[in-house]
Structure 1
Amino acid sequence: IASTIKLNSITGTELPNKAKMDIFERDKVLKALEKTLECTVCLGTLTPPLVVCCNNHCVCSSCGQALKECPTCRMEMANNVKYPIVLDNILYEIPRKCEFSEHCKVFMPGPELKEHMEICLYRLISCEILSCSWKGEYKTLYEHVKTNHQDLLIENGNVTFTDFSVDESYYSVKLISSLGCLFWMYTKNDPTKGMYKVFVIHIALDKREFESQTEFITEDIKYLQKIKVLGQVVNIDETFSSGNILIMPSEALVPFINDEKQLIYKINISEITTTIESNPMAEIESSEEENKNGLLNILKRIDNKALCDFCK
């Protein structure tokens, strides 16, 4: 009996040879399925909805938009072709590599992968500071700003705007380093509307939520306002027009502008909810083991999606 027991590398428990073979076979099946469902244009796993040619060869919708003929058989691409919904269901559950797979080893089903890529440590991040075209990984953003935009880096919560007047237009983007995280801080003074606006965006590595407290303080006046730190924002102009940001009359800033035309205040970031913090690097190092661990569940989900409604 002892000779038929082997160590299961996935769970660390001992399983019979047959069980180990089952896991190995599942891995082979999954890889074969991934190869079969490969898009001939992008060479990634097909992403629904599909574009189909007259011979039923498929490509991703984004890959097929500009195609006139099939890259496999050179036949004309078909229009309004209906294919089994079960194929879409399977494709949604097929695990895929992270788009940043040169460094990131995450491999998971489509819906989960989309969420992961929004916070992937290796995703490309653009520097939002005006007139800067730099792009790089998250871990290099702080050093970039510190080296090239030192005056726009906030590390101690002290915010200073030089040559500031409530009667003049002012727009600025600064990087805040706080609580081991990075945040973009957008500020805008609009003299035509007499309004000063501020909002903060978390450059996320996890799903934690934060709030910012802005403090305007002089010897005689103290004004505090809290706003929720935003997640990923697509349209900056629309965000400035929303109500979920700090908005105050420009004239209210006058007491906080010193004789050198500097607007000075503090901004403090705090976490809204207490959650177990995760180390992104540790997650990446353990991802290969987790991927193996998840093969069984992934294939079960695919099985469920492909079940016949009658015979099950």
Structure 2
Amino acid sequence: MEDVEDIEVRKCVRLQLTHRRCIFSCRPSFGIADECRCVSAMLMRIEPAQTLVLFNWAVYLESPVVPIMQRDQSHNICPHCGKPAALCPVFRESEEALESMNPVANVFKVIPAQTTTTTATPVESLPSLLECPVCGDYALPPILQCQNGHHLCARCRRKVARCPICRAPKNRSRNLFLDHLAEMNLLNCKYHSQGCSATVSLATKEKHEMSCEHGPCSCVLIGDKCSWMGPPGELVDHILSTHGFIPRMQEQNASVTAENFDSGQDFTWYALQTCHGRDFIVMLKKTSENSSFKHCFGVVVLVGSSEDAQRFQYRLQVSGSNHRLTLEARMKGIHSLVESAQSGDGLIFSTSMAEHFCSGGSLKMDVTISTSP
């Protein structure tokens, strides 16, 4: 009998698909009920509570000697009896073990260290199986593969006629295992290397990355059709060098004036305000997109992250001869500017009310930025 360590390293627990025999010392021909003495010897060395996990996962679901086989429709088949996975009692038992253990990482934590091989994939490296070999981003379902089983993300797949790894033709065969792996695991944000520590599900990954504070931000002057995108720390320099007409105030208490405010046209007005050693964006917007509520909206955001923004608060005030409207709110980061404008999270008032605050067709707004108590 082979030593247990040698058995595991050399994958005695696998069956060669073509010969249906144990590849080591006992060498029986295998029917579905036959026993491999090498497997039995190894399992006898393992605690009973861990046997089911090891047998189901290490024997039937890992791959190098006997690969996980699939038909053209990408449904798994048992490598031992050739039946569809749903009809094979042994393979079905493995699938039930998979479904009962969520997340997948919990399974591997109970496998004893002495049975781990040098070819095993660490739990924390499982999401790396989803990485596109071309661009390094995660491939998202439906994950398609070439004839030899290599996958690409959808973006890179559209750019090539053949697999860039093996040059095999690409086809429409899905890799259902990777599809399920993507749905069951928490993935790192694509800006992990820039400092983002968030782990997100596949369903929320794209939404998180669009507003991730460690990712790039777009130029706030979207009305000028500016396509600039870059780190938040470079936004102010971009605005001053490219859009130099924007007013800049160097104090924590400032007054800004939006001219021609009483015209019937929609517009968005911006200013830079620098105080407390940081830069802030002041936005005043007038819109009639919703015909039932033509309104004005004002907000201030920090050119930085929401975490840094928690140190500040702001006050906006518009006033006329007999009216005054004031908002005090916690500061948010630059990535939340679009969301705040869409949700109305700021100073909001109707255009009819704005007429009470206008003087000579212009609207004056007082802006005060202070540190949070």
- TM-score band, normalised by the shorter chain? 0.5 to 0.7
Whether 1:144 and 2:238 are equivalent positions in the alignment is: yes
TM-score using structure 2 length: 0.48
1:215 deviates by 0.9
Kindly provide the amino acid, as one letter, of the partner of residue 318 in structure 2: F
Structure 2 equivalent of residue 169 of structure 1: 265
Taking the aligned partners of 1:198 and 1:224, their CA distance within structure 2 comes to 12
Structure 2 equivalent of residue 41 of structure 1: 134
Taking the aligned partners of 1:141 and 1:181, their CA distance within structure 2 comes to 10
> 1:46, 1:91 within 8 Å by CA — same for their partners in 2?
no
Kindly provide the amino acid, as one letter, of the partner of residue 146 in structure 2: C
Whether 1:195 and 2:288 are equivalent positions in the alignment is: no
> 2:295, 2:351 within 8 Å by CA — same for their partners in 1?
yes
CA offsets per residue over residues 158-191 of structure 1, 9 Å max, x none?
Answer: 22111231x5223123144355243351411549
Taking the aligned partners of 1:190 and 1:107, their CA distance within structure 2 comes to 38
Change in Cα spacing, 1:264 to 1:107, as seen in structure 2 (3 Å) is closer
CA offsets per residue over residues 117-137 of structure 1, 9 Å max, x none?
Answer: 8212x7253242532524443
Equivalent of 1:83 in 162, 177, 187: 177
Structure 1 equivalent of residue 283 of structure 2: 185
> 2:318, 2:325 within 8 Å by CA — same for their partners in 1?
yes
Higher-Rg member (1/2): 2
- 2:173 counterpart SS class: coil
Whether 1:216 and 2:318 are equivalent positions in the alignment is: yes
Q: How many residues align?
A: 236
Whether 1:266 and 2:366 are equivalent positions in the alignment is: yes
Instruction: Report the identity percentage.
Output: 17
1:219 deviates by 5.3
> 1:153, 1:174 within 8 Å by CA — same for their partners in 2?
no
CA offsets per residue over residues 85-125 of structure 1, 9 Å max, x none?
Answer: 774379745x68748x6xx5x486753996698212x7253
Taking the aligned partners of 1:129 and 1:75, their CA distance within structure 2 comes to 42
- 1:264 counterpart SS class: strand
Structure 1 equivalent of residue 256 of structure 2: 159
Change in Cα spacing, 1:219 to 1:97, as seen in structure 2 (3 Å) is closer
Kindly provide the amino acid, as one letter, of the partner of residue 200 in structure 2: P
Whether 1:111 and 2:200 are equivalent positions in the alignment is: yes
Change in Cα spacing, 1:186 to 1:52, as seen in structure 2 (3 Å) is farther
Change in Cα spacing, 1:46 to 1:214, as seen in structure 2 (3 Å) is closer
Whether 1:58 and 2:158 are equivalent positions in the alignment is: no
**More displaced 10-residue stretch of structure 1: 50-59 or 204-213:** 204-213
Kindly provide the amino acid, as one letter, of the partner of residue 326 in structure 2: L
Kindly provide the amino acid, as one letter, of the partner of residue 79 in structure 1: S
Kindly provide the amino acid, as one letter, of the partner of residue 352 in structure 2: E
Taking the aligned partners of 1:234 and 1:256, their CA distance within structure 2 comes to 25
Taking the aligned partners of 2:125 and 2:322, their CA distance within structure 1 comes to 72
Structure 1 equivalent of residue 50 of structure 2: none
Taking the aligned partners of 2:126 and 2:320, their CA distance within structure 1 comes to 66
> 2:259, 2:362 within 8 Å by CA — same for their partners in 1?
yes
> 1:130, 1:173 within 8 Å by CA — same for their partners in 2?
no
- 2:176 counterpart SS class: coil
Kindly provide the amino acid, as one letter, of the partner of residue 253 in structure 1: A
1:79 deviates by 3.2
Unaligned runs of 5+ in 2: 1-117
- 2:295 counterpart SS class: strand
Structure 2 equivalent of residue 290 of structure 1: none
1:231-242 matched pairs, under 5 angstroms: 232=335, 239-240=341-342, 242=343
Change in Cα spacing, 1:213 to 1:96, as seen in structure 2 (3 Å) is closer
Taking the aligned partners of 1:107 and 1:249, their CA distance within structure 2 comes to 39
Change in Cα spacing, 1:78 to 1:218, as seen in structure 2 (3 Å) is closer
Taking the aligned partners of 1:249 and 1:32, their CA distance within structure 2 comes to 54
Cα RMSD, aligned residues only: 4.6
- 2:177 counterpart SS class: coil
1:198 deviates by 0.8
Structure 2 equivalent of residue 19 of structure 1: none
Structure 1 equivalent of residue 357 of structure 2: 256
- 2:296 counterpart SS class: strand
> 1:96, 1:107 within 8 Å by CA — same for their partners in 2?
yes
